[in-house]
Amino acid sequence: MELQATGSPQSDAKNYRKVKTLVNINLMIGGEAGQGVQSVGHVLAKTLARGGYHVFADQDYDSRVRGGHSFFRVRASDAEARAISEQVDILVALDKESIDLHQKELTKQGIIIFDGDKTKNTGENTSLFSVPLERLAQESAKNKLMTNTVALGAALGLASYDKRILSNVISEYFGAGDVGKANVAAATAGYEYARTNFKRDFRHNLTPIIGDGRRMLLSGNEAIALGALAAGCKFMAAYPMTPTTTIMEYLASKAKDFNIVVVQPEDEIAAVNMVIGASFAGVRSITATSGGGFCLMVEGLGLAGMTETPIVVVLGQRAGPAIGLPTRTEQGDLEFAIHAAHGEFPRAVLAPASVEDAFWLTIKAFNLAEKYQIPVILITDQYLASSYATVEKFDLSKVTIDRGLLLSKEELTKLGEYKRHQITESGISPRAIPLEGGTLVVTDSDEHNEEGHLIEDAETRTAMMRKRLRKMEGLRKEIAKPRVYGAAQAEITLLGWGSTYGAIREAVDLAMNDGLAINLVHLSEIWPFPVEATTRALQGAKKIIAVENNATAQLAHLLRAETGYQVTGKILKFDGRPLSPEHILKQLKQEVR
């Protein structure tokens, strides 16, 4: 792939697109936990987004506060960037380990920025570009800790990026005070050093795309938090757990402004039961956790099912079982989410395909939860939770809040006698809010009658089970069709779900460039399983290959159970790291060899 950028500050976005030049550059910042890898990574991503680029960034870190190895990858492109790339064009190595671990990922023309004063014995390597990071930090900012900012400046100097954008973003990030000024000075020092001292030919000339810098840059978790606010969520209870803690932190930071209460209780059992209590009392409520916490919430899930209390549970998967790899990604909990809790009751499981999808599916989760009075599980993973992507500003006029059959005081008065679990054709009973409706609302975790009082008789039990399960019929119609992408007459069909959409879709692009007739069938609304739509999407598929970030191909299993289709091949990754387009392509070539 030829990597070259033209375009100039004078050309407007429209003209630029006509030129159709492909910019696709990958930058990586590596270092120890505590060296500021994430903060400068985020500044880098934002700086590139502000210049009009599509950005995708992800982060990888050990489960520790100091030391170890962590990195932040930023991909910038003039076309939509949907996934990470395993190739690195500029590696900013804040320690020697970053060079040792990542130089194999460097492209032919790639450059490693490192501090030659600090890191010796790097061997013969023409890609190395030494920048006295620590010295420049000391000289420019009087602060050796700003090494990371110097390195950031050097990377953007190398790519001839607009340094004013960099300074602006740094000022916003670190503030206009002394810290911000020192960081701007540090970045400028690095930038100028690279401009002056880098004598070789660097192919990436990252000229900002003028007029296009109005996209949002946000993470999967931030998209979920914003989705919750837009959906009118008023209560969150959660116990901190990677990778979903930042949802709670974001909502807590907006609690005052948005009249929302965020509670950190003693454990996940309390969290889910609090959410049930809050929802029963009448507000939209959410909790967020990872697999281990979700295990503790399982009995609560059944309570929500039985009492028909709407709740939204975010399950950010990480590599299990048990503590597993606490800061790393996996898609190992799909079947668990679908089947969690004893007994049989309706639920929905939604798996956002991207950061943007995370926003809209969070809103849909709240609407489905209230409309069908069920628990809805929003299943993401560490990769999506902590990846950043540029998206067009959300069009809030498209947000609808559908509270279903939630009756007002007037409607309840008209109704006369109220039964919380009234048997209806749709299975959905009119819902009332205690106190607010003036009527008594009674529900029970035991099997109950229409009034909500506990019963033991077989007839009522059967009628109530049927009533609850009937809700699946309406719910099924709400589930979106799978996304289909790629060749119309495909020889190979890749099957995926959730956060891997971007990576698989880009793998399809790469494979089509290589001459393969290939397409993708991808599910992000998984339960109730869209049987008909998936069957239709797979009709005539010659070879179905499941691509999943787990060890046992859980969607393939579900597909077999629900449609009878059996996959012919599997590309599985369960090392705690996300799937990349390149990895999928490589595995695919082995599969079809």
Nearest to 547 by CA among 588, 513, 575: 588
Q: Which of the ranges 29-37, 65-73, 395-403, 475-483 carries the binding residues for another protein, by CB under 8 A?
A: 395-403
Site mask for another protein (CB under 8 A), range 558-587, x = bound: ------------------------------
Residues in Cβ contact with 339 at an 8 Å cutoff, skipping those fewer than 6 apart: none
Q: How far is the CB of 569 from another protein (least distance, A)?
A: 39
| Residue 509: strand, helix, or coil | helix
Contact indicator for 521, 495 with CB cutoff of 8 Å: yes
Tell me which DSSP letter residue 104 carries. Answer: G
Looking at 192, 335, 436, 562, which residue binds another protein (CB under 8 A)? 436
Q: How far is the CB of 421 from another protein (least distance, A)?
A: 12
Interaction residues for another protein, span 305-324 (CB under 8 A):
307
Looking at 72, 114, 280, 372, which residue binds another protein (CB under 8 A)? 280
Looking at 142, 200, 214, 542, which residue binds another protein (CB under 8 A)? 214
Cα 350 to Cα 121, 210, 364, 478, 528, distances in angstroms: 50, 37, 9, 11, 9
Contact indicator for 318, 330 with CB cutoff of 8 Å: yes
CB nearer another protein, residue 136 or residue 231: 231
Q: Does 180 help bind another protein (rule: CB under 8 A)?
A: no
Tell me which DSSP letter residue 431 carries. Answer: B
* Strand-pair category, 544-548 with 569-572: parallel
Residue type, 312: V
Contact indicator for 500, 537 with CB cutoff of 8 Å: no
Q: Does 74 help bind another protein (rule: CB under 8 A)?
A: no
Report the length, in residues, of the chain.
593
What gap in Å lies between CA 570 and CA 543, rounded to an integer?
A: 11
What gap in Å lies between CA 80 and CA 59, rounded to an integer?
A: 19
Q: Does 215 help bind another protein (rule: CB under 8 A)?
A: yes
Instruction: Count interface residues toward another protein (CB under 8 A).
Output: 69
Q: In what order do the strands lie in the sheet with 569-572?
A: 483-486, 518-523, 492-497, 544-548, 569-572
Q: Which of the ranges 97-105, 232-240, 379-387, 478-486 carries the binding residues for another protein, by CB under 8 A?
A: 232-240
Q: How far is the CB of 560 from another protein (least distance, A)?
A: 34
CB nearer another protein, residue 113 or residue 433: 433
Interaction residues for another protein, span 284-303 (CB under 8 A):
284-285, 299-300, 303
What gap in Å lies between CA 421 and CA 433, rounded to an integer?
A: 13
Site mask for another protein (CB under 8 A), range 194-213, x = bound: -------------------x
Q: How far is the CB of 230 from another protein (least distance, A)?
A: 4
Contact indicator for 23, 6 with CB cutoff of 8 Å: no
Q: Does 176 help bind another protein (rule: CB under 8 A)?
A: no
Looking at 322, 396, 458, 488, which residue binds another protein (CB under 8 A)? 396
Q: How far is the CB of 432 from another protein (least distance, A)?
A: 9
What gap in Å lies between CA 484 and CA 482, rounded to an integer?
A: 6
Q: Does 401 help bind another protein (rule: CB under 8 A)?
A: yes
Q: Does 265 help bind another protein (rule: CB under 8 A)?
A: yes
Looking at 3, 101, 269, 325, which residue binds another protein (CB under 8 A)? 269
* Strand-pair category, 88-93 with 54-60: unpaired
Cα 545 to Cα 33, 333, 396, 524, 562, distances in angstroms: 38, 20, 37, 17, 17
Q: Does 408 help bind another protein (rule: CB under 8 A)?
A: no
Q: Does 452 help bind another protein (rule: CB under 8 A)?
A: yes
Q: Does 440 help bind another protein (rule: CB under 8 A)?
A: yes
Cα 499 to Cα 316, 379, 413, 445, distances in angstroms: 11, 9, 46, 35
CB nearer another protein, residue 136 or residue 272: 272
Looking at 121, 126, 196, 259, which residue binds another protein (CB under 8 A)? 259
What are 168's two structure tokens?
């602006």
Looking at 117, 408, 438, 589, which residue binds another protein (CB under 8 A)? 438
Q: Does 393 help bind another protein (rule: CB under 8 A)?
A: yes
Interaction residues for another protein, span 238-257 (CB under 8 A):
254-256
What are 147's two structure tokens?
């090494």
CB nearer another protein, residue 94 or residue 433: 433
Nearest to 332 by CA among 360, 375, 294, 365: 294
First to last CA, the chain: 23
Looking at 86, 97, 444, 591, which residue binds another protein (CB under 8 A)? 444
Binding site for another protein (CB under 8 A): 213-218, 222, 226, 229-232, 234-235, 237, 254-256, 258-261, 263, 265-267, 269-278, 280-285, 299-300, 303, 307, 363, 393-394, 396-397, 399, 401, 433-436, 438-446, 452-454
